[in-house]
Structure 1
C-alpha cells in the first residue's frame, strides 16, 4: 500500500473523530453529551438535548465527514479499494473517536455521506427500501438498522462488486455494534437504562 493511501485512511479516521455533537453541546450547554440520554454523540442524542437545530447541524456535519473522506480517497488514492476503505475508516472514527476514549456516535449518517459519493444510485436503492419499512414499522431508528443489515445483500443482488459488499458488511457490523443497546432493548435480550436516560433528559 502506498504512503499516500495510508495517509488518506488515517485522515479519514481523524475526520470521523470530529464529533460535532460533543463539541456543540459542550459549547452551548457546558455539559458532556456522553453522560446524557443514550450517551451517544450523534445527531439523535443531540436532538433530545438541543432540539431540531442541533440535530440539523450535527447530522449535516456527520454527512459531510463521510462525503469529504470518500471524495479525497477517490481523488488522491492510488488503489481502487481506498474509497471503500475510507468509508470504514471515517465511520470507525465517528463511532470510536480516540480523543474521547473511543466513545462516539452511531455511524449511520457518516456512512451515508460516504455512500452518496461512492455510489449514489445504490444509496438511492437503500432509501427506496427504507421508505416501505418505515411505513410499516413507524420507527426510523429500527427501520434504518434493518436497511443497514441488508445493505450487503442488496449490493450483491444489484450486481455491485464483491469489494462493495465486503465494505458494506464491515460498516453494518460497526453500526449494529454501536446500536447494540437499542437492539437489546428491542429484542428483550437484556436490561438497559435507555428508558430512564431519556426520562432524565426530559427533566
Structure 2
C-alpha cells in the first residue's frame, strides 16, 4: 500500500504544471496557445518573460528532484526509488491536471537525474548546455543529452537498475521530441529565445 501511495503521490507531483502557474503569476497567455504549444520552460521563454521561464524551469526540475529525495528519505529500495522517478516523470508528460497533455520532460528529467546521482546529472546537464550554446536549439540539446544519458550512466555504474531508469527516461524524451526532429530536419525548428508566433 505504501508503495502504491508513493507512486500516486509522485505522479500527482509530476502533474503540477509550473508553466501554467508561472504564466498566471506573470500575467502571460496560456503557453499552449503560442510557439510550440508545449507547457514547458523553453516555450514560456518565447513569451519574452525570462523570469516566468526560469520559474517554470526551476519548478519542473524541483518536482523531479523532490520526488526522488523524499523516496530515498523514506527508506525505499533502489528499485522503488527508480519507479518513483519514472512516476514523477510520467506525471509531467501526461498530467491529469492538463488532460494528460504535458511538457516534454527535459527539466523534470534533469531534476530526477541530479537527485539520483549528482555527478551523472551534472554531466548530462553539461551536455545539454554545450549543445544548446553551440546550436541555439533547445530540442537538439535535449535529444543529444537524452541519448548520452544512458551511455554516461553505463560508463559510470555499469548495468544497474538506475541505468535502466536513465535509459527509459532517455527513450521517452526522444519519443516526445519526434515533432522537433521533423522540424530540425526540415530546417523549421525555432531557436532558443525566438519570440512567440
Q: Structure 1 length normalisation: TM-score?
A: 0.84
Instruction: Tell me how large the CA RMSD over aligned residues is.
Output: 2.6
Correspondence for 1:45: 43
Structure 2 matches for 1:1-203, cutoff 5 A?
A: 3-26=1-24, 28-29=26-27, 31-130=29-128, 132-134=130-132, 136-188=134-186, 201-202=196-197
Distance 1:100 1:150 in 2: 30
Indicate the SS of the match to 2:196.
helix
**Change over 3 Å in CA distance of 1:133–1:47 after alignment to 2:** closer
1:21–1:41 Cα contact (<8 Å) kept? yes
Give 1:184 deviation, angstroms: 1.3
Q: Is the 8 A contact 2:26 2:52 kept in 1?
A: no
Could you tell me which runs of 5 or more consecutive residues in structure 2 were left unpaired when the two chains were aligned. none
Contact 1:44 1:55 in 2 (8 A): yes
Q: 1:120-174: per-residue Cα shift (whole Å, max 9, x none)?
A: 1112222344455456544343123112112112211223442122111211122
1:41/1:135 CA distance change after superposition, 3 Å:
closer
CA contact (8 A) 2:46 2:194 kept: no
Question: Structure 2-normalised TM-score?
Answer: 0.86
Structure 1 position 7, deviation (Å): 1.2
The Cα shift of 1:50 comes to 4.8
Separation in 1 of the partners of 2:29 and 2:42? 17
CA 1:185–1:71: 2 relative to 1, 3 Å: same
